Amino acid sequence: MKYSDITKLKHLAQDKISRSANPAVVRNSTIFFKSMQELLKHEDIVKKGSQVNFYEYGRGGSQTTIALQNFIAELELAHRTFLTSTGFGAVALAIISICRPGDEIIVTDAVYAPTRIITSKLLKEFNIKTHFYNPENLTSLSAKINKKTKMIFVENPGSNTFEFQDLSKIIKIAKKNKIITAIDNTWGTPFFIKPLKLGFDMSISSGTKYFSGHSDVMLGSLSVNKKVYDKVRFCNKLFGYRASPDDAYLVLRGLRTLDVRLRKHEESTKKIINFLRGEKKIKEILYPYQKGTQNYENWKKYYSGSTGLFSVVFFSKNKNSIYKFINSLKLFGIGQSWGGFESLVLYQSNIIQRVYKKYIKPNHHIVRFHVGLEDPKDLIEDLKKSLRRIR
């Protein structure tokens, strides 16, 4: 019988051996085998991508991390899922598994800052060239493809500026040119969109964010199809990427309530945005709420819901007044990351370094918000008082 994702979230990680609702936390390095023949046979099983209950060495993981891998793979509809110690570790694993000296990679211009650094700077040192494309004009993507293009790396929506792309068009372009595709799907999660089902070869999520939901874990996941499995498995094992069993356990626990939390984030965010729409100091709200816009249409086409992360473009000739606004907020903490139970705010204009400079204008200030699980009425009152600081 096929179950919905809501039901799967509640039942996938049950421990059938101990009959516990939650799997045990198993920490290991050495795994014992009855014979050399058994060890070698097990290595072959792992190479083929078959499901296993343990690895031949602790670097591969433990029963706890395997339980999380299987859980996420089921949600992603993936052949297999690999875990890393951070979300960005999954980004790096995806890229280094595919790209080699002499190759070229095409990347969404509105990409997460560390992803921009590894692709535009570090890869350059290994003779791998990066091109950035305008996420609102996919003709710019097609124009950058040549025989050396090995990967198209998509982040959807764009980091901080939240451009939503026509994903099927990107996949069609990639398949026509036999190019591997990867997508950072941390914002949408596999609960709201399944990139591998759509045609992507790799789907990345930062488990630090919504998977965990409690701001106390660092973890990343890279889910793949059969086409790229061997390449990723080789690099994953070689470089020793893995998540700790303790962090894997916490993410497994957090995933049980993913659906409930995401719907609450979405519901509260809509209320916050409806309030902000009437604020005169705001030039634009970067969130797929406005019908008839390209962002809304592309979001509606591919996603079954929205989350709690968005940006606001403020207009002010006084940058310090934007800082005063942020500093005076009581319920929005100033801090990195997002996806937890608490609301957050961060000034982001200073980190946006892009070829595509739509939002980099004089006196325009991008402030990113994450709406947590607090009472939205309290959050609105907090915003209302602090907005007076902007001049």
Instruction: Determine whether 272 is exposed, middle or buried from the number of CB atoms within 10 Å of its CB (0-12, 13-18, 19+).
Output: buried
Instruction: Determine whether 390 is exposed, middle or buried from the number of CB atoms within 10 Å of its CB (0-12, 13-18, 19+).
Output: buried
Lowest mean pLDDT among 60-64, 233-237, 344-348, 363-367: 60-64
| Token output for 6 | 């809501």
DSSP state of 291: T
DSSP string, 4-63: -HHHHHHHTT-BTTTTBSS------S----S-HHHHHHHHHHHHTT---SS-SSGGG--H
Task: For 64-83, write each residue's pLDDT tens digit.
Answer: 999 999 999 999 999 999 99
| φ, ψ at 283 (rounded to 5°) | -85, -40
- Residue written as token pair 């409806």: 274
Lowest mean pLDDT among 26-35, 145-154, 317-326: 26-35
- The per-residue pLDDT for 332 is 98
Task: For 45-58, write each residue's pLDDT tens digit.
Answer: 888 777 788 888 87
CB 24 within 8 A of CB 14: no
- Residue written as token pair 């190759």: 103
- The per-residue pLDDT for 349 is 87
Closest CA to 199 of 221, 220, 227: 227
- Residue written as token pair 């801090």: 335
- The per-residue pLDDT for 1 is 66
Lowest mean pLDDT among 37-46, 315-324, 342-351: 37-46
d(CA 77, CA 288): 26
CB 164 within 8 A of CB 288: yes
Closest CA to 203 of 64, 77, 369: 77
Percentage above 90 pLDDT, the chain: 80
More confident residue, 49 or 133: 133
d(CA 333, CA 330): 7
Closest CA to 366 of 382, 351, 381: 351
pLDDT of 254 > 80? The answer is yes
Q: pLDDT grade, residue 278 (50/70/90)?
A: confident
CB atoms closer than 10 angstroms to residue 357: 10
- The per-residue pLDDT for 20 is 80
Domains in the chain, ordered, with CATH? 5-255 (3.40.640.10), 258-389 (3.90.1150.10)
Task: For 161-213, write each residue's pLDDT tens digit.
Answer: 999 999 999 999 999 999 999 999 999 999 999 999 999 999 999 999 999 99
Q: pLDDT grade, residue 391 (50/70/90)?
A: confident
Q: What is the mean pLDDT of the chain?
A: 94
| Token output for 102 | 């002499």
Residues 93-106, mean pLDDT to the nearest whole number: 98
Percentage above 70 pLDDT, the chain: 99
